[in-house]
Homo-oligomer: A and B are copies of this chain.
Amino acid sequence: MPSKTTKKPGAKQNSPSGFESRLADVARDVEALLQTLLGRDLEHGETARPARLLQAMQYAALAGGKRLRPFLVVESARLFGVKPQQAMMAAAAVECVHCYSLVHDDLPAMDNDALRRGRPTTHKAFDDATAILAGDALLTVAFDFLARKETHADPAVRIALVTELARAAGLGGMVGGQLLDLAAEGRFGKVPEGVIGEETVIMLESMKTGALIRAACAMGAILGNASEDARQSLDFYGYALGQAFQIADDLLDLEGDPKKLGKKTKKDAAAGKATFIAVLGVEGARERLAILIATAEAALKDFGKKAETLRETARFVAERQA
């Protein structure tokens, strides 16, 4: 029961339905915006919009899901008085990058997954070439979205968002983490036993999954013209949350219900993935998760009550069943 260890007795809580309906609201809004951005807006232009490619992009990006990263952009921005609607373009951009990464990670040349969110993965529903290109196009369009006036009136803010997202998604972030993940599996040569320890796992997980979660929080701070102190607090929150998210994911892979998750479980151990569970054991991972959630909550102390939704987000990440 991970919930026991992650609820701080003294913490104030909205009713669960309050938090969950807030999460669902943002998910619905970002889905609607992506539908517009990847639909009406992209269907027409000076040049052809190959229907097959657009359909694959829509298939990959409009598959529902919790939309955690957009929620983090919106809730982080809200700390600084930015209205959810004003954070929505940046939120949609982060989600496009997340969705592209799933499409490429699922490819036969990478993790070779056939199922995601209960549906065939994009390359299964289309084909490998279309999936590669749909991923490329989703990544590209994310920067197009960030550059639009609707994202923020000030070009300097938009440029800061571009920098944040590009750094989080690239060599030193998500893509680099995916490579380290494959390397740890022994894909580029046998990994000597005992070489992959806690430090390696923290590094690769914080890049592969953590970087984009952390960037989502940072982008909220950028949209809100946050002070340096506030940025750092939020960054610390995002860092802890990103690791917590990954541990929860690893635990779900081991213990979760494949029906609820909409994908195969117990894949990590089979693939010899370098996970927190592999280095800490199940109980050790659960304890680490609790510490990280407490760390994430503590990082928000200067924001007071305003940050309650972000605190609940941390608890939600630890307790989620799917």
Asked if B130 and A144 make an inter-chain contact with CB atoms under 8 angstroms apart, the answer reads no
In the complex, what residue of chain B is closest to A164 when comparing beta carbons?
B147
Residues of B within 8 A of A170 (CB): 137, 140-141, 144
A262 interface hit (Cβ, 8 Å):
no
In the complex, what residue of chain B is closest to A160 when comparing beta carbons?
B147
32-66 of chain A: CB within 8 A of chain B: 42, 45-50, 52-54, 57
Which label, helix, strand, loop or mixed, suits the secondary structure of the A interface? Answer: helix
Asked if A178 and B139 make an inter-chain contact with CB atoms under 8 angstroms apart, the answer reads no
Residues of B within 8 A of A147 (CB): 159-160, 162-163, 166
Q: How many copies does the complex hold?
A: 2
Asked if B129 and A182 make an inter-chain contact with CB atoms under 8 angstroms apart, the answer reads yes
In angstroms, Cα B131 to Cα A179, docked, is 10
Residues of B within 8 A of A133 (CB): 104, 175, 178-179
Asked if A176 and B49 make an inter-chain contact with CB atoms under 8 angstroms apart, the answer reads yes
Most interface-central of A132, A173, A182 (chain B CB within 10 A): A132
Asked if B109 and A128 make an inter-chain contact with CB atoms under 8 angstroms apart, the answer reads yes
Residues of B within 8 A of A207 (CB): 47-48
Residues of B within 8 A of A179 (CB): 50, 52-53, 129-130, 133
140-199 of chain A: CB within 8 A of chain B: 140-141, 143-144, 146-148, 154-156, 158-160, 162-163, 165-167, 169-173, 175-176, 178-180, 182-183, 187-188
A114 interface hit (Cβ, 8 Å):
no
In angstroms, Cα B110 to Cα A57, docked, is 17
- Known A-B contacts A158-B155, A163-B147, A207-B48; A187 and B141 likewise in contact (beta carbons under 8 Å): no
Which of B48, B128, B173 is within 8 Å of A176, CB to CB?
Answer: B48
**Which residues on A are within 8 Å of B, measured CB to CB?**
42, 45-50, 52-54, 57, 104, 107, 109-110, 127-130, 132-133, 135-137, 139-141, 143-144, 146-148, 154-156, 158-160, 162-163, 165-167, 169-173, 175-176, 178-180, 182-183, 187-188, 203-204, 206-207, 211
> When A and B form their complex, which 4 residue pairs have the shortest distance between CB atoms, in order from nearest?
A109-B128, A144-B166, A140-B170, A155-B156
